[in-house]
Structure 1
Amino acid sequence: MEEVIEQNALSWIFPGAVPLQQLQHFRERLVESFIHADEDYLEFYGTQAHAIMRMDWPNENKFQYLQVLDDVYTELADKAGRL
């Protein structure tokens, strides 16, 4: 873990952290996929989560992608009344 000082504030950079731009792109693709998914949101969520967990990535990266997946699922399922 490295310390970085940004505008008099101390921030931490975790090794293997996924760039924010990459996570935002993943989020945009997920929103599109959820909207166009023929199956149930929960089934699509499970399929995506399973695919992420099978990737050969560090656990920290998997967690970041799963967090984005969870946020998108919760937001869209809540709007659609599926929670």
Structure 2
Amino acid sequence: MNYVKILAGLVLSFAVGLACRKFGIPAASPPVLSGALLVFMMSSGYWLVDRYVARRAAENKRHCGGHAIEAAPEQAGGGR
């Protein structure tokens, strides 16, 4: 885990919150603790599921056609 990115994110979020408070700009966050906890828990859940899914083997990769950029021109419909 990259702790520098986490620390930079926390510092940036506090700086944006401070600037919004100082200049009277409406913050893009809930003004009550329960709303802030909801946002935190949703973000944590997203992160945890992403970590879980990334560790599992890709079982259905053979069914994926891939991106059109990676395909040969005749497969992508270019046919030049």
Higher relative contact order (CA 8 A, sep 6+): 1
* TM-score tier after normalising by the smaller chain length: 0.3 to 0.5
Using structure 2 for the length normalisation, give the TM-score.
0.34
Highest CA radius of gyration, 1 or 2?
Answer: 2
